[in-house]
Amino acid sequence: MDFKAMASNLGIDEADFIELAELLVITSLSDLAALEQGLAQGSKEPIAHAAHSIKGAAGNLGFTDIAAIAAEMETLVGQGEFDSINARADALRQGLDAINMAMGR
């Protein structure tokens, strides 16, 4: 994960980018918790909102893999494929962990 290149791609400083990446991890973990709660309750709306939120934020910062997983989840909600969403939630969590690792945390 080349934060310097990603920051430069957005036209911002690396320090600012790292701050944003950190915020992305915190926010997305919180979204993910809401998503999992939605899965447990079989409630579509919180899942759709959480997936949409992660997709947008990750996409904005250039974390395209995470954004892609979230986008798939958003599509799957409509189809009621809760099991597939569950599997992707794990992948998403791993993606967020990878960002944390890259930041040296």
Find the binder of another protein among 3, 6, 18, 24 (CB under 8 A): 24
Q: How far is CA 41 from the centre of its chain?
A: 21
Question: Is 29 an interacting residue with respect to another protein (CB under 8 A)?
Answer: no
In the complex with another protein, which residue's Cβ is closer, 37 or 60?
60
Report the half-sphere exposure of 89 (CA within 13 A, side-chain side): 24
Q: How far is CA 68 from CA 15, 40, 58, 62, 64, in A?
A: 25, 23, 9, 11, 6
Residue 47 lies near another protein (rule: CB under 8 A): no
Residues near another protein, by CB under 8 A = 10-12, 16, 19-20, 23-24, 27, 49, 52-53, 56-57, 59-61, 67
